[in-house]
Structure 1
Amino acid sequence: MISITAFSVDKVKDPFGILAGDRYEFRLDVDLPEDDELFVENGVYIRVIYKVDGEASGIVKYELYESINDRYVDAELEDEEEQLIDSFCKAHFSEAEE
């Protein structure tokens, strides 16, 4: 199971008002056990686009990258890991700088 060790969040600007709701970009530094299939020796971070539209919110998309070189990791999170990320983003999107 993943453990979030650090994060940053920024509000995505939509100067033309094309998108409904607000979008937030998270960078989640995660710690993975060595026996996890997502484990990469140099570490992994997850880039998450999170949408908030009134009472509705959720992950639009996420991508995994190697921490040391920003190389894309072609893998998917398990359902419970994705739920953990969704809950984390829901709790922290309000910390984004405008």
Structure 2
Amino acid sequence: MSEEKNTSLITRDWLAIERTKLANERTFLAYFRTFIVLLGTGVTILKLEIFTELKSFGIILVIVSPVILLIGVIRLIYVRKLIRKHYNA
């Protein structure tokens, strides 16, 4: 006789899943915030004449900022799939 797996979640478990999803979104927003700060700082360094000696640093910031955003997006998608796989199995 095979037992059926009880897939209904109690409130505590459902709330834990929701907290995990929200934590994943907050982590993405931290990556996004970092992207915005690095990009803005890089563009500011490149545009202001006061910082001409830091021009190479500004270029590095402008190049690194999309990489940070890409890492954040990839991580968001990966963890979202992992959460679905773990809790929907």
Q: TM-score, normalising length from structure 1?
A: 0.26
Structure with bigger gyration radius: 2
Whose strand fraction is larger, Structure 1's or Structure 2's? 1
Q: TM-score, normalising length from structure 2?
A: 0.29
Q: Which has the higher contact order (CA 8 A, sep 6+)?
A: 2
